[in-house]
Amino acid sequence: MDTTIKQGKAIEKFSLMKNRNYLFLLLSASFSAPGYYVYLLGCEWLMLSLSDNRFYFGMLFFCSCSTKIIIFDNRGGCSQTV
């Protein structure tokens, strides 16, 4: 994962794996993402076993996933400007 930056006439390459903050972000995402998906499946399973209604199951899944997509898109846009 190399990135090239043009500064005037010089071209500088740096690796993202050498950036300490990026490594912390990658490490924290690798710990939090599986937990989020286990929570998501647990909530949907509970909803399905309590109500046995497929519509509520679909609405819960849609609401849970749509917020994650919106947050992911905004975070990607903000990190490019910093």
Any idea which residue has 């490594």 for tokens? 23
Count the domains in the chain. Answer: 1
CA distances for 66 relative to 32, 71, 72, 78, angstroms: 18, 9, 10, 19
- Work out the pLDDT band at 11, boundaries 50, 70, 90: low
- Work out the pLDDT band at 78, boundaries 50, 70, 90: very low
pTM for this structure?
0.52
Residue 69 domain boundaries: 2-81
15-73: pLDDT as tens digits: 777 888 888 888 888 888 888 888 888 988 898 899 888 898 888 888 888 877 777 65
At 30 the pLDDT is 87
